[in-house]
């Protein structure tokens, strides 16, 4: 009896195999085509990194930091795509000449990896996630800055903004039309002026230009 109890105690006290550490990424996409590999990683701290590794050349690495709102949007897309992909039957492996590997790791969920053919996405969840990752990759390659969330922003005279076309404008006057404010904008340091409604300004502005 005592020996059995000791054996049970030893078995209980003996640690099992160490659990694998949680991934540091939120989502990754690895595209392999004719020995060329392109990996896009979105890390949980908001950093996104693109690594392009040609067959016989040195890899190029580009990275940028998402703002908290953008990171929340990406996390939501990953979570929704994860649920949809998890429910589906086995997804076919990629074709021999190329494949897309999606690695999803929402917080508090076990990591999920699916492989797709380069010719297309077999499900709505995969297609939506691919679209979000495509937009992030375009951002990285274009070098555009992160877009501020201006959905609740109210303009003030003296504020300066960068528009989508790269122009810097300053709000010099605000008019109340009864249907919402209209801003008079000075373009750069010259005499050219623009007039935009609040909705137009929120849609056209990329970010506030801080002093």
Q: What pLDDT, in 10s, does the model give residues 95-108?
A: 556 788 999 999 88
User: What rounded mean pLDDT belongs to the chain?
Assistant: 80
**68 shares its domain with 124:** yes
Same domain, 48 and 80: yes
pLDDT at residue 10, as a whole number: 37
Cβ-count burial 140-168 (b if 16+ within 10 Å, e if not): eeeeeeeebebeeeebeeebebbbeeeee
Q: Verify that 91 and 174 share a domain, yes or no.
A: no
- List the one residue out of 69, 70, 125, 138 whose CA is nearest residue 116: 125
Contacts of 78 (CB under 8 A, 6+ apart): 26, 27, 42, 104, 106, 129
- Are residue 64 and residue 91 in the same domain, yes or no? yes
**Is-contact 51 39, C-beta < 8 A?**
yes
Q: Does the pLDDT of residue 14 top 50, yes or no? A: no
Residue 96 is assigned to a structural domain of this protein: yes
**Over residues 13-26, mean pLDDT:** 64
pLDDT digits (tens, 9 = 90+) for 187-211: 987 777 899 999 899 888 888 887 6
- What is the mean predicted confidence (pLDDT) over 160-173? 89
Same domain, 169 and 123: no
Whether residues 53 and 92 fall in one domain:
yes
pLDDT at 15 over 70: no
DSSP designation for 153: -
pLDDT at 164: 77
133 and 180 assigned to the same domain = no
pLDDT over 50 at 161, yes or no: yes
Q: What percent of the chain is predicted at pLDDT more than 90?
A: 31
* pTM of the complete model beyond 0.75: no
Q: Is the pLDDT of residue 88 over 90?
A: no
Q: Is residue 134 part of a domain?
A: yes
How far apart (Å, rounded) are the C-alpha atoms in residues 182 and 170? 13
Residue 81 inside a domain? The answer is: yes
Q: Is residue 151 part of a domain?
A: no
**Residue 155: what pLDDT?**
93
Q: What angle do CA 23, 94, 103 make, to 5 degrees?
A: 10
Which range of residues forms the domain containing residue 137?
A: 25-142
Task: Check whether 3 has a pLDDT greater than 50.
Answer: no
Average pLDDT value for residue range 29-49: 90
Higher pLDDT, 9 or 81: 81
- Give φ, ψ of 132 to 5 degrees: -65, -40
> How far is residue 63's CA from residue 45's CA, in Å, rounded to a whole number?
13
Helices (H), ranges, the chain: 2-13, 68-87, 124-142, 198-204
48 within 8 A of 64, measured Cβ to Cβ: yes
Residue count (the chain): 211
């Amino acid at each position: 009896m005592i020996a059995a109890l000791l054996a049970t105690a030893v078995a209980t006290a003996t640690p099992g195999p160490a659990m694998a550490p949680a991934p540091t990424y939120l989502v990754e996409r690895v595209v392999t085509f004719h020995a060329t590999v392109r990996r896009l990683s979105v890390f949980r701290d908001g950093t996104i990194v693109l690594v392009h590794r040609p067959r016989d050349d040195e890899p190029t690495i580009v990275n940028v930091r998402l703002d908290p709102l953008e990171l929340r949007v990406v996390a939501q897309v990953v979570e929704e795509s994860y649920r949809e992909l998890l429910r589906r039957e086995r997804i076919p492996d990629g074709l021999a000449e190329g494949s897309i590997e999606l690695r999803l790791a929402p917080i508090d969920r076990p990591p999920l990896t699916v492989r797709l053919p380069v010719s297309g996405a077999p499900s709505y969840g995969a297609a939506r996630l691919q679209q979000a990752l495509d937009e992030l990759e375009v951002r990285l390659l274009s070098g555009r800055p992160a877009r501020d969330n201006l959905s609740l922003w109210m303009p003030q005279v003296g504020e300066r903004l960068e528009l989508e076309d790269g122009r810097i404008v300053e709000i010099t006057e605000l008019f109340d039309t009864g249907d919402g404010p209209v801003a008079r904008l000075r373009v750069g340091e010259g005499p050219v002026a623009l007039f935009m409604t609040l909705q137009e300004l929120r849609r056209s502005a990329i970010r506030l230009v801080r002093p």
